């Protein structure tokens, strides 16, 4: 089934809020509806299987790893009606134009990614994707300190908060990161 209008939907929030799980849920619903789906992820995301989008809770969906978001349009098949893009914050700014180009062609584009980095600052192309999307869903996690709603990602190095000038991109999961609320999100040197 072809969509009559394309659109960009962004699923965002901190780590452990369920972004990839929500992306997979929407992709599965599109599959049930008989839509043709292709999913892309950064080749740098090697935490789980390289050819799957995988949530921390174990849900997965087949995906094609790509190094450059600008290559995605050339990989989209003519019959594709839904494109999923996971971990969009790791792509270069070309992902913004790609999402718009695909939506302009009538494709439903589902994008998932962190809205902020471990410092609490806008992450890569996500702010522009969020601004240009037809729909944005910001999910919350649970603060690992107090149990309240968490909107931040805390990076830990040997159990201590990472410093502001530490590298922005370090791929990892629970051993390096925690969800935190504003009050308990700590960035020494900020």
Q: Is 148 a catalytic residue?
A: no
95 neighbors 129 (Cβ within 8 angstroms)? yes
Catalytic residue chosen out of the listed positions 87, 148, 160, 183: 87
Quickly list DSSP for the chain.
---SS-EEEEEEESTTSSHHHHHHHHHHHHHHTT--EEEEEETT--SS-TTEEE-TTS-EEE-EEES-GGGHHHHS-TT--EEEE-SGGGS-THHHHHHHHHHHTT-EEEEEEESB-TTSSB-TTHHHHHHH-SEEEE--EE-TTTSSEE-EEEEEETTEEPPTTS-S-----TTTEEEE-TTT---TT-
Active-site residue set: 87
């Amino acid at each position: 089934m072809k969509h009559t209008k394309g659109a960009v939907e962004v699923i965002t929030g901190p780590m452990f809020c369920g972004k990839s799980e929500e992306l997979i849920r929407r992709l599965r619903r599109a599959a049930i509806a008989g839509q043709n789906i292709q999913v892309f992820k950064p080749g740098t995301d090697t935490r789980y299987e390289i050819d799957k989008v995988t949530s921390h809770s174990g849900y997965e969906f087949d995906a094609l790893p790509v190094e450059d978001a600008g290559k995605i349009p050339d990989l989209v098949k003519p019959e594709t009606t839904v494109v999923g893009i996971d971990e969009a914050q790791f792509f270069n700014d070309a992902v913004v134009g790609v999402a718009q180009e695909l939506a302009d062609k009538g494709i439903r584009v589902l994008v998932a990614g962190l809205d902020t980095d471990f410092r609490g600052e806008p992450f890569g192309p996500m702010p522009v994707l969020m601004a240009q999307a037809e729909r944005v869903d910001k999910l919350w996690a649970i603060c690992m300190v107090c149990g309240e709603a968490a909107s931040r990602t805390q990076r830990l190095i040997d159990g201590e908060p990472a410093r502001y000038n530490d590298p922005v991109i370090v791929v990892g999961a629970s051993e390096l990161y925690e969800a935190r609320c504003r009050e308990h999100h700590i960035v020494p040197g900020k």
